[in-house]
Each structure stands twice: as C-alpha cells, then as structure tokens.
Amino acid sequence: MTSIYAQRRAALAAQLGAGGVAIIPTAPERARNRDADFPYRHDSYFYYLTGFTEPNAWLVISANGHSTLFCQPKDLEREIWDGIRLGPAAAPAALGVSQAHSVGELNKELPTLLENQSTLWFPFATHDNLSSQIDQWLSHVRARVRMGVSCPSSQQDLCTLLDEMRLVKDAHEQDTMRRAARISAGAHVRAMQLSARMLRQGQEVREYHLEAELLHEFRLHGAQFPAYTSIVAAGANACVLHYRADTAPVRAGDLVLIDAGCELDGYASDITRTFPANGKFTGAQRTLYDIVLAAQYAAADATRVGARFNDPHDAALKVLSQGLLDTGLLSHDKHGSVDDVLEKKAYFPFYMHRTSHWLGMDVHDCGSYVEPGEANTAPAKADPLTGQMVQPRPSRVLREGMVLTLEPGLYVRPGEGVPEAFWHIGIRIEDDAIVTAKGCELISRGVPVDADEIEALMRG
Ligand code: GLY
C-alpha cells in the first residue's frame, strides 16, 4: 500500500512542472544553554512529506516522482548516546523514498540532483542560510556548464504549493487532530477540577499548579509536546493576550483563562476555556461569559463549506458589539447602533484579535487567508483606528477539511467610563473546527463550554 507520505510526494511532484526539483530540509537542532538542547521538533513541511522525525535530514523530489532522502548514517557510538537512527540503507523500505544517502553526502550529491533541471523549488524564508547553501550547490552546477550541463534558471517558493496542500486536511490528519483535541480537552477538565478542589480544601493555588496538570495529562496520553507555550492567566492576567503560566495566585472569585493544547504525532490542538477559580461565576463574570459564548456559537454557525474565512469573525463581532452596548461597556449615546460600533471598530479596546486562525501541524498553520486568484473589486477605505488606507481582499472560501479555531473574547481593563464591575475580566473561549459540508465539527468540545456545565463539572 502506498503510504500517505508517498501519495503527498507524488502529488507535489506532479505540480513541480517539467524539469522541476524540490529541496526540503528538516528543522535544525537548537542549543538551549551549554550542553542542553531544546527538545527536538522536526520541520512541518518535511514531516508532511516523509513522516520522518530524525534531525539532520533532507528530502529532494523531482518532477518525475523520484525522491531522495539524506539522513544521519548509522553510527554505533552516536546511537549509544542519542538513540537509534534509521540510516540510509533502511530508509527506502521504511519511508518509501526512491533512494537514500548519508547526510554527509549532501554537498556531493545535491549538485548532481540539480544538474539539467530547469526550476528549483524550496521553502523561501523559513530556514536560516538555506538560500546561501543552495547558491553554493548551484555554483557547483554552474562550474560544469562548459561540460554541457545546464543549471536551473528559475527559483520558486515551495511554500506556495505545500501551503495549499496542507490547508485541506485528509482523513488521517483529521483523525490525528480529533485525538489531539480530545487529550487537550481532558487536560482542561483536569485543570478546572484541580482549581476548585484545591480552593475547597483551603490550599494555595498558583498558575503553575494548573499548568502542571495540563502537562501531566498531555504526556499521560502520549502527546509529545505542548503545541505552544501554555497560557494560564489568573484574574487580571487574563487581559494580557500572550501571558504565560507563571506564579500568580489563583483566588476564589477570580476567573482563570487557560489557552493550552497538546501536539500529538505532529498535529496541534488549541483550546481556551475561562472558568471561575472556585467553580462559581459571579454575576458580572457570567454576563460577559455568556456574551462571548453566544459570539462563539454565532461564529460556529457561520462556519461551513462555501462561507468565507472572515464570516465567523464578522458573526462574532456582531454579537460582541451588541453585548458591549447592552452591558454599558460601550454607551449607546456615544457609539450608536451595532452597525456604528462595527463601522468605527469601537469594540477594539475590548476585542483586539481575530476570531480564527488555521490549525494543523503548526498551531498557526500555513495557508493563505485570501482566496487565490480572486479579483479585488472593493475600493480601498480608511481604517477607522489608524486612518491608513486599506485595500480589502476577498477572504478564503472555506472547503471541506479545512481546520480553523473559533476564539472570540472580551478583555476589560480599567478605564474612564468602563463600569467597574467588569474591570480586570478577561474571557476567551476557543474551540477547533473542521469545516464540513453541513457546517463544522467542533472537535474540542470534550471540555464543557456552557457556564452551567462548567460549574457542574467543578462541583464534582
Ligand atoms: N492559542 C495560542 C495562539 O493562537 O497563539
């Protein structure tokens, strides 16, 4: 049976054009300090085409479908220290590539693979020094032009092809993402329960206690890493969008915002829940929570095949803007109707990020947010916040198998005219959605989202 990786390599080869050749390195190992490295994480493009997770590896694909892997050679001493290597002899059978060499042969073999090819594809602006390394290989090819060899005469960004391929997730990818989301949802459940239980027992709770619970649950279920640095933000810290889990106390009466997800077998999950530290929302917290939740439901309703990427955002913005007017966070007298709030972006002090991003191997996954090839017909207009002229571009049309987050929020800092009851409340609710023919599948709802259900869970 042809592996999914071989199928992807063949699909990519078919797009390279006659005389095309593609070079894809994996990620480098990175030193953390002195003799300690950061945990190794492969390059997503490379993994997408190989399923291979060792460092020091390169893939070369030709338009005729021939694939060459360069990987670490077998080395008894290094394998005693660092672990078993696949090695070039075993790679063709294990990975389905046409041939494999030791990575030590890269500089010798690469110019040969580039000879007499017309177009060189590689990922632009993703790997340090890649283009200068490629220049060196090309200069070796050029040195042989007098012998009748031809040198590639054009270079193309391989990301344009791979980003489009990765944007629509196949059944295997969707299944992995469902499993990752299930693990992350379980981790959020545990963190909520731990917070309520420790506070009930009179124990001091810190943000890192909740982070530890998340990490424990991720690894317990086989996830290799957190997909990004976990945000565990107690009280006012929730209004800092990229806050990291730190040492702040988690107090009864405060909300806790947790934005955390695991990476499983190369795929990210990304969930945010906001919950009362002791398991019971206050009136003001509940008011804002229900607005954000209604905004997320509106966003989910707007997520379906044929809709635009911006539709969930626009749907969420309407609900949030109405909520800001209803609660007095924005005054009707000053800001007028919901349409006025939207037109002037008056919601911006309370909601300053987008509702969605693509999700996949990378938490902010690759893929264009505008529909390729679609003409821009709308006139440029001034952004109400910056005054700069902005040329709106038609956003992406959603297709079955695309995966995006739905993550509206409200963040209330103290300010003149801001009702004090809402000060320091930060709420975001985020789920992962697979676009389906009929709507979307929310794959991360293994953790409750309804306020009553969160309270029930935390009582248990
Ligand atoms: N949820 C993490 C991020 O989107 O950056």
Q: Per-residue DSSP letters for 231-291?
A: EEEEGGGGGSTT----S-B--TT-EEEEEE-EEETTEE--EEEEEETTS---HHHHHHHHH
133-139: long-range pairs with CB below 8 Å, 24+: 134/23, 136/107, 137/107, 137/110, 137/111, 138/111, 138/114
List, chain by chain if needed, residues with CB within 6 Å of any ligand 1 atom: 228, 259, 270, 363
Tell which atom from ligand 1 comes closest to the C-alpha of 260.
1
Domains and CATH numbers, the chain: 4-166 (3.40.350.10), 168-459 (3.90.230.10)
Selected catalytic residue, list 357, 413, 424, 445: 357
Residue 458: CA count within 13 A, CB half-sphere: 27
Q: How far apart are CA 402 and CA 407, in angstroms?
A: 16
Per-residue DSSP letter, 306: T
Q: Which helix (H) or strand (E) holds 23?
A: strand 20-25
To 10 degrees, the CA torsion angle through 338, 339, 340, 343? 130
| 291's tokens | 């607005």
SS3 content of the chain, % helix, strand, coil (to 5): 40, 20, 45
Contact 176, 265 (CB under 8 A): yes
411 is catalytic: yes
b/e string for 447-460 if b means 16 or more Cβ within 10 A?
A: bbbebeebbebbee
Contact 318, 282 (CB under 8 A): no
| 402's tokens | 């695309």
Q: Give the pLDDT of residue 1.
A: 58
Cα–Cα distances (Å) from 176 to 167, 180, 182, 431, 459, in that order, read: 15, 6, 10, 16, 32
Size of the chain, expressed as the number of residues it contains: 460
Q: How far apart are CA 246 and CA 206, in angstroms?
A: 8
Name which of 46, 59, 122 is nearest 92 in CA terms.
59
Tell me the CA–centroid distance for residue 228 and ligand 1, in Å.
7
Tell me the CA–centroid distance for residue 448 and ligand 1, in Å.
19
Q: How far apart are CA 72 and CA 92, in angstroms?
A: 14
- Could you list the beta-strand ranges (E) of 271-397: 271-276, 381-382, 389-390
pTM: 0.96
| Site to substitute for ligand 1 among 229, 363, 428, 431, most atoms within 8 A of C-beta | 363
What sign does the dihedral 27-32-33-36 (CA atoms) show? Answer: negative
Amino acid at 276: P
Residue in the structure block whose two tokens are 């420790």: 198
Contact 180, 444 (CB under 8 A): no
Contact 210, 256 (CB under 8 A): yes
364 is catalytic: yes
Q: How far apart are CA 218 and CA 263, in angstroms?
A: 8
Beta bridge partners of 434: 403, 441
Q: Give the pLDDT of residue 47.
A: 98
Q: How far apart are CA 398 and CA 436, in angstroms?
A: 9
Q: How far apart are CA 336 and CA 351, in angstroms?
A: 18
Tell which atom from ligand 1 comes closest to the C-alpha of 430.
1
Name which of 299, 378, 382 is nearest 344 in CA terms.
382
Burial classification of residue 279, based on how many CB atoms lie within 10 Å of its CB (0-12 exposed, 13-18 middle, 19 or more buried): buried
Tell which atom from ligand 1 comes closest to the C-alpha of 261.
1
Tell which atom from ligand 1 comes closest to the C-alpha of 405.
4
State how far Cα 202 lies from the chain centre: 37
Selected catalytic residue, list 207, 213, 217, 259: 259
Per-residue pLDDT of the chain (460 residues; tens, 9 = 90+): 569 999 999 999 999 999 999 999 999 999 999 999 999 999 999 999 999 999 999 999 999 999 999 999 999 999 999 999 999 999 999 999 999 999 999 999 999 999 999 999 999 999 999 999 999 999 999 999 999 999 999 999 999 999 999 999 999 999 999 999 999 999 999 999 999 999 999 999 999 999 999 999 999 999 999 999 999 999 999 999 999 989 999 999 999 999 999 999 999 999 999 999 999 999 999 999 999 999 999 999 999 999 999 999 999 999 999 999 999 999 999 999 999 999 999 999 999 999 999 999 999 999 999 999 887 777 888 989 888 988 888 999 999 999 999 999 999 999 999 999 999 999 999 999 999 988 999 999 999 999 999 999 999 8
Per-residue DSSP letter, 353: S
Name which of 147, 118, 117, 121 is nearest 134 in CA terms.
121
Contact 392, 381 (CB under 8 A): yes
Name which of 93, 95, 29 is nearest 61 in CA terms.
95
